Amino acid sequence: MKDPLKITSTSIDTTQTRQLTGSCLCAGVAYLINGPVRNVVNCYCSQCRKTSGHYVAATRINKDHLTLTSEETLSWFECLPNIFRGFCNSCGGNLFWDNKNASNNEISIMAGTLDSPTQLKTVENIHTEDASDYCKIADIEAVKNTEN
């Protein structure tokens, strides 16, 4: 597996502030985002595959723009030193990825936990070399070209 801490070229668009809500399936963990949000990046690393059952589609925000409105079932698993995955200990929902080593004060949020509409777009695939053999990865550039 390549370095799971790879910083992608995709950054948070600070020109657009959004107000979004989201939760796990049972709503034991719920949150509000009020601030700039990065578009969605798909991660195919083996850790994301193991925690999600396939791959992870995640957005990213500054932690200062995240408010947990319900956290009664939120648990954290340290998957690598100082790197934590936040999940619901009731329904099992995978919600957050937090690199405490990073100096940027950002947290990744699983895009599927956001309430629609999000107005976000999938813009990048990372760690595709770790994708399972059954997985056919969509060509992001081809998808972008059909949208124009």
- Residue-level pLDDT at 37: 95
Which DSSP string do the residues of 24-44 spell out, in sequence order? -TTSSEEEEEEEE-PPEEEE-
**Would you say residue 146 has pLDDT above 60?**
no
Would 5 be classed as within a structural domain? no
Peptide bond connecting 36 to the previous residue in cis, omega within 30 degrees of 0: no
pLDDT category at 130 given cuts 50, 70, 90 is confident
Would 1 be classed as within a structural domain? no
Tokens of 91: 């329904």
Number of domains in the chain: 1
- Residue-level pLDDT at 144: 52
Question: Which CATH number does the domain housing residue 37 bear?
Answer: 2.170.150.70
Closest C-alpha to 79, from 61, 97, 66: 97
More confident residue, 134 or 32: 32
Q: What is the pLDDT of residues 18-66, one digit of tens each?
A: 899 999 999 999 999 999 999 999 999 999 999 998 999 999 999 999 9
- Residue-level pLDDT at 3: 44
Q: Which domain holds residue 131?
A: 17-147
Would 4 be classed as within a structural domain? no
pLDDT category at 140 given cuts 50, 70, 90 is low
Q: What is the pLDDT of residues 53-101, one digit of tens each?
A: 899 999 999 999 999 999 999 999 999 999 999 999 999 999 999 999 9
Would 28 be classed as within a structural domain? yes
